[in-house]
Amino acid sequence: MTEREAVADWIYILDPKRDTLDGEPSDREAIRRLAEEEPGLELWLSRRNRMKQGERLWFFFTHPEPAVAAVAEVDQEPWNDPDAPDIPYLVGATLLPGATKALYRDPVGRDELGLGQVRSVQKVKPEALPVLLARAGL
């Protein structure tokens, strides 16, 4: 098993109409700007998932056109914040500026990902990973 096979890639769903990051709307433009200016994030998770440091989060934006247009690397495994009882789990991640800029210019659409039902977080399908990596320049 290679190092890359030992880790997972995840789709993280963002709905720009209702989700915010650091008080900003979670649209493609805001995320691209954050990747350049303030790439460190703490993201909300409804369940713990088995994310590990070094895995990637591919951001799927639901509007205006459903597509992956940003990517981050997981900095630390999900944790529970006792000071935020209304948020089940958090995960630390850092946006990858170059790869996010590439995806912003040429996003990966829903059809190319083979996404069925959209949940908040799900693993990337193995057949979609080469397309994501190529578009992101990784």
Give the structural domain span for 33: 9-136
CATH number of the domain that residue 30 is part of: 3.10.590
pLDDT digits (tens, 9 = 90+) for 113-136: 988 777 778 999 999 999 999 999
Q: Is residue 97 part of a domain?
A: yes
* 43 close to 90: Cβ distance less than 8 angstroms: yes
| Overall domain count for the chain | 1
pLDDT tens digit sequence for 63-108 = 889 999 999 999 999 999 888 888 889 999 999 999 999 999 999 9
- Does the structure show a pLDDT above 80 at 42? yes
Predicted TM-score (pTM) of the model is 0.91
